[in-house]
Chain A
């Protein structure tokens, strides 16, 4: 399988990465090189094989659903690029 420039633009948008029009053809070539590299997997017989879920035969650990942490609002906000009181500030999303 290979992709064309319109797919590259769509993937970039899905990835939320702005791509300049002059980058599209270079990215297209690189992505197709990688896709052609992984193409070999289509020749593997995977019939009856389960997709791996964990490399170790272990049960996911569980714990009681209770609050174990909190009260660290300042710690959470300290690296924010824009904040006001105890809020993250983002561009307006609702008119």
Chain B
């Protein structure tokens, strides 16, 4: 059965269509792998009965000839997506007992197309973190291990750490994720998987627990570029329930896979050569440039002068929006309630008990930068700098650059407890290459390019023009084709 979990999403789809395998056996293989992998803590909630029932229906539809594009394919859903009748926690104690009566648009699109949900995947609490260590349900352990020190528990990145680890450990064929500052691309890079954050507005945010609404976007994490293209096509699309979702046709992204990248102009931004960057990452980036050049792309150096301001801007805008979005958790309508001597005391005690320390810290920062007397100095100024960051990209695209190539992360994955325990800013620096993309609302994809000397994967990032995900899929598949094939870890946990 184990080889069934090693199929790519595309291979499984084709095997189901040609009736070589059934959705039920494919689902059972994944449920059994999940059961043996609980040590990794990828899933917060497993839903085996629901999955098997969905599989039964998929097998019926396949027999009837009415199969959808994702019919019978078992996937995992980040526990930030509201799922009807299935507990949705956002990895927070404050939503420990929350069971939505509705389904998020993106997960419902996936189910409409026949996908099977295996359960809800772990994440950083409210998607705030870069290592999955802030989850109230405990950290996720990456299936990857360092050569030098195999007993160290490596983080899978964050916030979509359950998604990236489950995909790398073959506990689902693909997973949904979300990205506010890098939460799809950084965990993908840390686990040798592919993750795409589409253009802001490409996927509906409706029914996804909100963190920073002007930055949040849904996307998939998968083992191949083709699989990401297949999943995104189903996830994307207009939704009247999200006024920021864009009413534009969704292309068949899979067609872009393997298409020629000859003559495409790739920008390499000099500002991404940051101080103290490891020679290994720089060399890896050069290797990525060489792969695209060999594939016929034209490489141009570009300048994105406001890059260094992106992360500080993010740490004003994202907490500001979070402090507003998370005001709803007050112990009245849903979620945890802690009794108090009056209603204000109840609010304060509920929120102190329900939110973990990173979430509390960000709410407080956000409250401060929005408070009277500081709003102009912090928040309005940050929104102006954000305009400049977006302008940098607009100018690069205006002179004919088709996509920008950067490393996805400044380092390989680290071990639990190694970062951010004394200074929260140390952890924030993980997103230094990814956060600009959210600031400008652009699409960005992380694609694996091999492993570092320590045995852990490295990822490259491609940034595209608004709504030009197809170019990203074409370029990423060229890199995937040229790069050494990723050998996912053998299941030491089973």
Interface residues of A (CB under 8 A from B): 1, 3, 7-8, 11-19, 27, 30-31, 33-35, 37-42, 44, 46, 49-52, 54-56, 58, 60-61, 63, 72, 75-76, 78-82, 88, 90-93
Contacts and interface: CB of A to CB of B under 8 A. Distances in A.
A17 B383 contact: no
B98 interface: yes
B450 interface: no
Contacts of A49: 384-385, 387-388
Given A38-B316, A56-B441, A31 B332 contact: no
Contacts of A17: 348, 351-352, 355, 360, 363-364
B363 A15 contact: yes
A30 B377 CA distance: 20
Contacts of A55: 200, 214, 390, 439-441
B469 interface: no
Contact of B101 (A15, A18, A75): A75
A42 B377 CA distance: 8
Contacts of B293: none
B337 interface: yes
B399 interface: no
B373 to A, nearest CB: 11
B79 to A, nearest CB: 16
Contact of A91 (B333, B343, B352, B368): B343
Nearest to B360: A17
Contact of B381 (A19, A42, A88): A42
Contacts of A60: 243
B452 interface: no
B342 to A, nearest CB: 6
Contact of B340 (A33, A44, A76, A91): A91
Given A19-B352, A55-B214, A41 B387 contact: no
What 7 pairs between A and B have smallest CB-CB spacing?
A55-B441, A51-B383, A79-B334, A81-B337, A18-B348, A18-B352, A46-B384
B368 A11 contact: yes
A54 B309 CA distance: 19
A44 B309 contact: yes
Given A11-B368, A37-B312, A81-B337, A44 B351 contact: no
